[in-house]
Copies of this chain bind each other. A is one copy, B any other.
Amino acid sequence: MSHNTFGHLFRVTTWGESHGPAIGCVVDGCPPLIPLTEADLQPWLDRRKPGGSRFVTQRQESDTARILSGVFDDGAGPVTTGTPIAIEITNEDARSKDYGDIARAFRPGHADYTYQAKYGVRDHRGGGRSSARETAVRVAAGGVARKVLGEAVRIRAGVVQLGPHRIAPEAVDFEAVYDNALFAASADVVPAWEDYLDGVRKAGSSIGAVVALEVAGVPAGWGAPIYGKLDAELAAAMMSINAVKGVEIGAGFGAAELSGDDD
């Protein structure tokens, strides 16, 4: 059994390999009459797309999303129709030959071996299906979801830890995130973090990070008991992103130290 679909009422099925001709998704269950064009999706994709700084993959992709179905313009601008929304992004910089040397190697910490063990075959070019490139279509689908959510639900996020360097909770400033190449949630840490990361790069290594998200305006009652509770769905979604190994919600592990005395 394969499982490339996320969500229940609003369901996203993604497809595509890192170095295939394209990647894409089908959003099924989107409510009708939501105004939607590619211009609603592109700003999110532009924020994510590679090649923007020396700190990210140097692959050159415009990550231009095309909407192939599910919207209709009856004179007042394109709106969703309740039918499946197919979104497609062409892979423009798929350099398959670059991977010749590691075609037969299993990279530590990647899904290479797992795919080979599970399926007996894998598209080794850039990680194939297991590439983080898959997250591009999540971003596109998320752009549709944002339109459904409207303005009431506000979501902000940023990097709050890079390797051993943390931003103190009281210093987190989500407004700073898109003003620096590291998506750091504080302008103050950027010079030091860039120096640190340049050192990691020069050592031919890489380093992890922690991302914080703040979601405001969520009505009580979203999600569904018991196995679809909001915490559970969010945790699964986060854990399905490449390299994510931990999820905390609210007080997270700190809740272990909370007692009624703290109230």
> Min CB distance, A192 to chain B, in Å?
16
- Give bound CA distance, A233 to B239, whole Å: 8
Tell me what chain A mostly uses at the interface: helix, strand, loop, or mixed. Answer: mixed
Chain B nearest CB, measured from A16 CB (Å): 5
Asked if B21 and A68 sit within 8 Å, CB to CB, the answer is yes
Q: Count contacts on A: residues with CB < 8 A to the other chain.
A: 107
Q: Given A24-B68, A226-B4, A240-B232, are A208 and B161 neighbors across the interface (CB < 8 Å)?
A: no
Contacts of A225 in B (CB 8 A): 2-4, 83, 111, 115, 129-130
Is B122 within 8 A of A81, CB to CB?
yes
**A231 CB contact (under 8 Å) in B115, B245, B252:** B245
Q: Which residue of B lies closest to A22 (CB)?
A: B68
Kindly list chain B residues whose C-beta atoms are within 8 Å of the C-beta of A83: 2, 4, 15, 17, 123, 128-129, 225
With A15-B84, A84-B15, A231-B245 as known contacts, state yes or no: A205 contacts B261, CB within 8 Å.
yes
CB pair A28–B16 under 8 Å, yes or no, is: no
User: What is the chain B residue whose CB lies nearest that of A23?
Assistant: B69
- B residues within 8 A CB of A251? 245
Q: Are B258 and A208 in contact (CB under 8 A)?
A: yes
A163 and B259: CB pair below 8 A?
yes
- Pick the residue among B81, B121, B128 that contacts A79 (CB under 8 A): B121
